Amino acid sequence: MSSYLDPRPTPTSMEEVFRAMRLALPSLGPASLLVLVAHVDLETGGGTKMRNFSIGGVKATPGGEHSWTFYSTREVLSTARADELLLKAARRTDGKPGLDAEVEREVPNPLGPGHEPMLVVRFHPSSRVACFRAYETLQAAVDNHVDFLRTKYRGAWPHVLTPDPAAYADALGRGGYYTAPRQRYVSDLVARYARLAKESASWSAG
């Protein structure tokens, strides 16, 4: 049964994430598991910004199928999408002035010159856009996230098996997983994969 969970920091090392992934996917080799770990590394700032074991920043709906919590987040949006969400903004409920959604800055459109700039919008915890899946344990989060990826992002999953972190990140972007510029997200995930491949030399033996 789902419920609201108070937001709390759950800093987690990537070695811990790797071990949880291995329990969830015992048939996969380390190279494939590291595609998923690199994704978690990107989404959680290396595990230092993880809250409620939300390893993938997957959104939730209050009262929905999954337990949920609220915390601030940023989205990179088109002007039209930003305007749509800003019209729904309400007064903040944390005692601070202003609305629960605000434009922070413009950024270049990844499609290049001649295209309308994108907007970075910050959503504060009272906004429904800032509602995320929440878990009591890391293993519960990993088990659920693996099912989520296999179900909703079937086009990306084969690139976990290959493994191909660049194709995986690109497929996630094409499927709408993230709002960041795709090229930057792909290069970031690939760089993290390469770093973790070196760092994890001793993990698979533990």
Q: What is the CATH number of the domain that holds 40?
A: 1.10.530.10
Same domain, 47 and 76: no
Mark whether 140 and 179 lie in a shared domain.
yes
Provide, rounded to the nearest whole percent, the portion of the chain with pLDDT above 90.
Answer: 88
pLDDT at 112: 83
Rounded to whole angstroms, the Cα distance separating 168 from 102 reads 31
Same domain, 175 and 87: no
For residue 206, pLDDT beyond 80: no
Q: What's the domain count of the chain? A: 2
Q: Is residue 95 part of a domain?
A: yes
Please check whether residue 84 lies inside any domain of the structure: yes
Q: Which two tokens stand for residue 166?
A: 């660049």
Residues 50 and 135 both lie in one domain: yes
- The answer to whether position 2 is within a domain reads no
Residues 86 and 151 reside in one and the same domain:
no
How many angstroms separate the Cα of 73 from the Cα of each of 129, 132, 164? Answer: 8, 10, 28
Q: Choose the final residue of a domain: 92, 109, 124.
A: 124
Q: Are residues 120 and 135 in the same domain?
A: no
Instruction: Output the pLDDT for position 38.
Output: 98
Residues 19, 49 within the same domain = yes
Same domain, 116 and 21: no
Among the listed residues 52, 71, 31, the one whose alpha carbon sits nearest the alpha carbon of residue 144: 52
Same domain, 101 and 190: no
Q: What is the pLDDT of residue 204?
A: 56
- Across the range 78-96, mean pLDDT stands at 92
Answer yes or no: is 5 within a domain. Answer: no
The mean per-residue pLDDT over the stretch 68-96 comes to: 93
pTM of the model: 0.90
The answer to whether residue 7 is domain-embedded is no
Instruction: State yes or no: pLDDT of 205 exceeds 70.
Output: no
Range of the domain at 37: 14-61+131-205
- Does the pLDDT value for residue 17 go beyond 70? yes
The pLDDT, as a whole number, for residue 111 is 81
State residue 133's pLDDT score. Answer: 97
Structure confidence at residue 118 (pLDDT): 93
3-class DSSP string for 107-157: ECCCCCCCCCCEEEEEECCCCHHHEEECCCCHHHHHHHHHHHHHHHCCCCH
Do 53 and 78 lie in one domain? The reply is no
Interval 29-73: pLDDT, tens: 999 999 999 999 999 999 999 999 999 999 999 999 999 999 999
66 lies in some domain: no
165 & 196 share domain: yes
Do 152 and 169 share a domain, yes or no? yes
With respect to residue 67, please indicate whether it lies within any of the assigned structural domains: no
| Residue 175 pLDDT exceeds 80 | yes
Report the share of the chain in percent with pLDDT over 70. Answer: 99
